[in-house]
């Protein structure tokens, strides 16, 4: 993430933490959010902004790592952890819902709608 180490391919957005928070939402109406890629981008930006904020606080604090994690910013770390897991779950759901091996178009359509609901929740 910050120390020049690339993350696993499952979390490629973590390698772009410095660039993602600068993204501007391209949605112009509420209908634009009925799009899996738009929801994906919104969730990614949300988690990235939170992570950048925590990393910045970590660099600026004089507290020990243990105090930082366990008391000072514990709630922030829990929140970003939950949002990260929610985003990763959304990515996995999206990957399966858009897979080309789904035979029935109705099943594919319903899975994509459920995925949108999950991402917007």
Distance of alpha carbon 58 from alpha carbon 88, whole angstroms? 24
For residue 62, give its domain range.
35-120
In the chain, the percentage of residues whose pLDDT exceeds 90 is 48
Mean pLDDT value across residues 41-65: 90
Instruction: Answer whether residue 100 shows pLDDT above 70.
Output: yes
Instruction: Answer whether residue 77 shows pLDDT above 80.
Output: yes
Helix (H) or strand (E) holding 101: none
Question: pLDDT value at position 26?
Answer: 77
Whether residue 74 lies inside any domain: the answer is yes
Total structural domains within the chain: 1
- Residue where the block lists tokens 């959010």: 33
User: What phi and psi values does residue 43 have, to the nearest 5 degrees?
Assistant: -65, -40
Question: pLDDT value at position 53?
Answer: 92
Whether residue 112 lies inside any domain: the answer is yes
Question: pLDDT value at position 10?
Answer: 66
Whether residue 30 lies inside any domain: the answer is no
Distance of alpha carbon 68 from alpha carbon 121, whole angstroms? 30
Whether residue 98 lies inside any domain: the answer is yes
Question: pLDDT value at position 27?
Answer: 77
Instruction: Answer whether residue 8 shows pLDDT above 70.
Output: no
- Residue where the block lists tokens 């990235």: 48
The radius of gyration of the chain's CA atoms, rounded to the nearest angstrom, is 17
User: pLDDT for 17-47, tens place per residue?
Assistant: 878 877 777 778 888 778 999 999 899 999 9
User: What count of residues does the chain have?
Assistant: 121
Whether residue 28 lies inside any domain: the answer is no
pTM of the model: 0.82
Distance of alpha carbon 45 from alpha carbon 25, whole angstroms? 9
């Amino acid at each position: 993430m910050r120390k020049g180490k690339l993350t696993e391919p499952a979390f490629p957005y973590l390698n772009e933490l410095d660039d993602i928070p600068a993204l501007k939402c391209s949605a112009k109406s509420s209908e634009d959010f009925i799009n899996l890629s738009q929801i994906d981008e919104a969730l990614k930006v949300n988690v990235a902004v939170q992570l950048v904020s925590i990393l910045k606080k970590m660099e600026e604090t004089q507290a020990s790592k243990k105090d930082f994690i366990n008391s000072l910013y514990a709630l922030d770390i829990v929140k970003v952890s939950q949002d990260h897991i929610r985003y990763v779950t959304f990515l996995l759901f999206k990957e399966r819902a858009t897979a080309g091996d789904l035979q029935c178009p109705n099943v594919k359509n319903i899975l994509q709608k459920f995925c949108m609901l999950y991402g917007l929740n």
